[in-house]
Structure 1
Amino acid sequence: MTEHTRPRIYGADHTDTDTRPGHEYVQLDGGPLDGQLLDVTGLTADQRTAGAYLITPHSTYGPGGCASYGPTFSRPAGPWVWEGDTP
């Protein structure tokens, strides 16, 4: 039997897997941050539509590179899908 693990929360300590009550999260799908949750509570509707560039140590450009994630037209509420890496 495999143990079920909670998804990691982007930007939180690697041992912090607890979501906060009253916060909204989207799951990141694909790329270097696959499976992590992103807290989108403070984002405006326009920001949620635009997606985000998230710093990651595992991008194509090495540590400090960014991975672009955003909603899809067919599923705007999530998950956000990986669109590629940027320096």
Structure 2
Amino acid sequence: MNGDEQLLRGRVYGHDHDDPGPLADQTYAVLTGGPLDGLLLRITGWRPEDVAEGVALPTELGKFPGGRSLYGPRPGEPRRPGPGVSCRFHYSGDVP
């Protein structure tokens, strides 16, 4: 694991490194694989169809600096309702 990857582990995507970690009353997806591996993505308030669709997250760490990394759930993978880590979003590639 390089220095950038170590710095990101256990943090919430889009938050500064000195922000508090995940909040107990929020819902998160854990990002697995790719450049954002180990980050949590806040999905509080997302509709089930939004979660099922996945996301394209802006990042400087992917194949295309300034591009986006694609993450989404795998079909049939369980989701836990309520606060905390609800599901996993798996890396599927990068786009410019």
Bin for the TM-score computed over the shorter chain: 0.7 to 0.9
Change (3 A) 1:79 1:8: same
Residue of structure 2 in register with 1:56 after alignment: 59
> Using the alignment, how far apart are the partners of 1:10 and 1:18 within structure 2?
10
TM-score normalised to structure 1 length: 0.84
Partner of 1:86: 95
Which amino acid in 2 is paired with 1:15? Answer: D
> Number of residue pairs matched?
81
In structure 2, the gaps of 5 or more residues are 1-8, 80-86
Give the conservation status (yes or no) of the 8 Å contact 2:11–2:22: no
C-alpha distance in structure 2 between counterparts of 1:20 and 1:85, whole Å: 28
Q: Which residue of the other structure, out of 46, 50, 53, is the alignment partner of 1:47?
A: 50
User: What residue number does 1:69 align with?
Assistant: 71
Q: Which runs of 4+ in 1 moved over 2 A?
A: none
Go from structure 1 to structure 2 and tell me whether the alpha carbon gap of 1:69 and 1:58 turns closer, same or farther (over 3 Å shift).
Answer: same
Find the aligned partners of 2:78 and 2:61 in 1 and give their Cα distance: 26
Distance 1:85 1:30 in 2: 12
